[in-house]
Amino acid sequence: MSSRIRKYPGTEMDLKEIEAGKFLFSSYETVLRYSFTSGVAISRFLEGLKEGQLWARECDKCGRILIPPRMYCEEDFRSTDRWVRVRDTGKVNTYSISYVNNDASRRRTPVVVSVIEIDGASKGMGILHLLGEVDPRKVTVGMKVEAVWKPKKERRGAITDIVYFRPRR
Give yes or no for residue 23 binding other proteins (CB under 8 A).
no
Segments of 44-105 assigned E as strands: 54-58, 65-66, 72-73, 78-79, 82-86, 89-100
Cα 148 to Cα 167: distance, rounded to the nearest angstrom: 10
28 near other proteins, judged by CB under 8 A: yes
59 binds, among Zn ion, other proteins, none (CB under 5 to 8 A by kind): Zn ion
Is residue 169 a contact residue for other proteins (CB under 8 A)? no
- Look at residue 111 and give its three-state secondary structure: strand
Selected from 37, 102, 105, 109, the binder of other proteins by CB under 8 A is: 37
User: What track of x and - describes contact with other proteins for positions 61 through 100 (by CB under 8 A)?
Assistant: ---------xxx-xxxx-x---------------------
Among 2, 3, 11, 35, binds other proteins (CB under 8 A): 35
Q: Which is nearer to other proteins, 33 or 106 (CB)?
A: 33
Q: In a 3-state reduction of DSSP, which class is residue 136?
A: helix
Question: CB under 5 A: which stretch of 44-52, 56-64, 144-152, 160-168 binds Zn ion?
Answer: 56-64
Q: What are phi and psi of 40, to 5 degrees?
A: -65, -50
Question: First CA to last CA across the chain, in angstroms?
Answer: 54
For residue 147, which of 93, 89, 96, 94 has the smallest C-alpha distance? 89
Q: Which residue type, as a one-letter code, is found at position 142?
A: G
Contact set with other proteins (CB under 8 A): 26, 28, 30-42, 70-72, 74-77, 79
